[in-house]
Chain A
Amino acid sequence: MQIQLNHLMPIPLQDKLQQRSSDIWNREVTFQQGSFVKIKAPSGTGKTTLIHYLYHIRYDYTGQVAVNGQPWPSYSKNDIASMRQQEVSVIFQDLRLFEQLTARENIVLKNVMQGKPYYPPEKIADMAARLNVSHILEQSGRTLSYGERQRIAIIRALVQPFQWLLMDEPFSHLDEENTQRAAALIAEECKARNAGFILTDLDNDQHFAYDVHYHL
């Protein structure tokens, strides 16, 4: 799955962004399949907005986000759902877990959404153990701390097939050790699928061996 940006420009930020240069906004950008992409951006330059455009849950832009050569709006709702089940996964900055489900159920939801479970339960238990969240799997999403939710959201994003993983400040509430563990797990899962990722963050970091760096 190839993602291309053709002069993408968020309408609300238009005036502000025209006064500074950017590697992404209002340019032709192609993200090559399987590459690890880091997008560094100061606050307020449209990091989350970009992730939402790429995942097609916000539409207030000019220009185009083309997926496999077709702009997002040309896909039907059912096509988009199928792509979100099979080809593109996401970790939101605001995590978006279901509070009425337990941590495990939040993970399983994505594991079984496309029909047959993608990973067996042991694999999920293994991932939880690596991120130190085994003990909270049966707790309701409501009672989890932000750092715990972040790790559950990471695991949830990894228990489905994908070619691209979109991440919006995925380690913002994790300590250094947990960040290392999470980054290792993500890299491993991406390699296993031959998949790439697009990660946005405020600062430089060494969590991954990035192929490409952009400044937003």
Chain B
Amino acid sequence: MRPFFDLLKKIIQTGVGKTRFLMAAVGLGIAMLLILIAIQAHTNFSQLLYSSKNQNETADFLVINKTITNAMMGQSAKSIFTPEEIANIRKQPFVQAFGLVTSSQYKVVIQAPGDLHFATDMFFEAVPDSFLDVKNEDWKWNEGDRTIPIILPNDFLNLYNFGFSLSQDLPQISQETVKALPLQVNISNNQVSDQYMGHVVGFSDRISSFLVPASFMAWANQKYGTTTAVGTSRVIIKTPDPSNPTLVKFLEDNGYTTNQDKLKFSKTRMIVQTIVSVVGFFGLILLCFALLVFSMFIQLVIASCKREIQLLVILGTAPQQLQRYLLKQFVPLYIVVGLLSLLLVAVLQYWTATILAAHQMLISPWPGVLVFAGMTLVLALVYVVNWLTVKKYVNNI
């Protein structure tokens, strides 16, 4: 076909409106660049969040409760999750594991032994063992045991050591000492009162509550419980990604609340995602315009050579030959534009990776597979649109 195409080059002048065509090519380049950058930014962000190289284990445990508003004060029933609400939380896609926080239905008073003169009213809660961040072999209770293992919140000890004890001129206590202290636990309801030994087995950063084994809680609620079982007002979930915006939205929509600190990534992530989407969106808009200009250019070329093309067809040139020839005039430029954009993205990615590496944030120095896929897709789209345009106008002649 070469000698024939060489002659076609002299007959079909593609020089008409060449500047317009080149500008459209530049537009295509920018569009492609924006789209590829958006894709790559997305890839980078997921790498930063989820890649094992970046060490920050994102799976986290969240204790969720209803927000207490002024209107709800004094009506504790309103803070209780209904079975439907619990089922709804349980089936959310971001919930990896789900547990109920059971609270005690009896009065608890804890006393320190000897002359420490320390006594306080208290409560207990229990969660399934798999949600605990304290692993201790003493963490078990069987019916008949007089010693109850207890897990305290780390914050509680800190409050005492750095707030309370200093202001009251009391001694600060180490974790070891607390664990060694035999505590006297009085459990009572309106009729009976029993004494147990309390033994602190660990301190939890995860759950801000006074925890006892679930087996003890079940037994004690049965034995001392004053009312019929009250509902659950706190639940604990394990989620792979607490910055997941759908999780944050779910909590907001339902009036639930949790430790806000754990959700702080979510905002950053939303902002980045919005920016990336806007960039990608502009890329797509620009791509549409580039496609439009290409189509108009093809139309112009064909219209300006209408007589020549008619004569070629009369002499026996197949519409297919003309289509192939015309596409050959445009497509190489698209491929060059695509490769240039890819190269630019690769350079940008390498540069970004170098900068981030200095901050211990590791991303791949190469553009991701999605970028290549994106480029192929955009080029395929441009090709198909061009092909359809050429086909349409050549066949109309």
Contacts and interface: CB of A to CB of B under 8 A. Distances in A.
B387 to A, nearest CB: 16
B10 A57 contact: no
A102 B351 CA distance: 55
B395 to A, nearest CB: 7
Interface stretch (B207-215, B229-237, B306-314): B306-314
Could you tell me the dominant secondary structure of chain B's interface residues?
helix
B317 A98 contact: no
B7 interface: yes
Contacts of B10: 100-101, 105
Given A78-B320, A84-B315, A113 B4 contact: yes
B74 interface: no
A80 B395 CA distance: 13
A160 B315 CA distance: 11
Contacts of B314: 55, 57, 84, 96
Contacts of A96: 311, 314-315
Contact of A101 (B7, B313, B317, B320): B7
A108 interface: yes
A160 B4 CA distance: 13
B318 interface: yes
B3 interface: yes
A78 B313 CA distance: 10
A98 B308 contact: yes
Given A98-B308, A105-B10, A110 B315 contact: yes
Interface string A183-197: 000000000000000
A78 B315 contact: no
B316 interface: yes
A113 to B, nearest CB: 6
B316 A115 contact: no
A108 B7 contact: yes
A76 B314 CA distance: 14
A113 B315 contact: yes
A2 interface: no
Given A77-B395, A115-B1, A109 B318 contact: no
Nearest to B319: A77
Contacts of A85: 316, 318
Nearest to B8: A109
B83 to A, nearest CB: 69
Contacts of B7: 101, 105, 108-109, 112
A81 B11 contact: no
Contacts of A98: 11, 308, 311
Contacts of A101: 7, 10-11
Nearest to A106: B7
A81 B4 contact: no
A215 B4 CA distance: 40
A81 B313 contact: yes
Interface residues of B, number: 18
Interface in A25-53: none
B316 A112 contact: no
Nearest to A86: B316
A77 B311 CA distance: 14
A83 B315 CA distance: 10
Nearest to A156: B315
A186 B314 CA distance: 21
Contacts of A82: 316, 318
A117 interface: yes
Interface in A127-168: 160
Given A105-B7, A112-B4, A113-B4, A78 B318 contact: yes
Interface string B301-345: 000000010010111111111000000000000000000000000
Contacts of A55: 314
Contact of B3 (A84, A117, A160): A117
Nearest to B4: A112
A190 to B, nearest CB: 18
A82 B313 CA distance: 11
Contacts of A117: 3
A108 B315 CA distance: 12
A81 B311 contact: no
A82 B315 CA distance: 10
A55 B316 CA distance: 10
Contact of B316 (A100, A105, A108, A113): A113
A100 B15 CA distance: 15
Contacts of B317: 81, 113
B217 to A, nearest CB: 83
Interface in B1-55: 1, 3-4, 7, 10-11
B244 to A, nearest CB: 56
B240 to A, nearest CB: 57
Contacts of A160: 316
Given A85-B318, A100-B10, 16 more contacts: A55-B314, A78-B319, A78-B320, A81-B316, A81-B319, A81-B320, A82-B316, A83-B316, A96-B311, A96-B314, A98-B311, A101-B10, A108-B7, A109-B315, A113-B317, A160-B316
Interface of A: 55, 57, 77-78, 81-85, 96, 98, 100-101, 105, 108-110, 112-113, 115, 117, 160
Interface of B: 1, 3-4, 7, 10-11, 308, 311, 313-321, 395
8 contacts: A77-B318, A77-B319, A81-B313, A96-B315, A108-B7, A109-B7, A113-B4, A113-B317
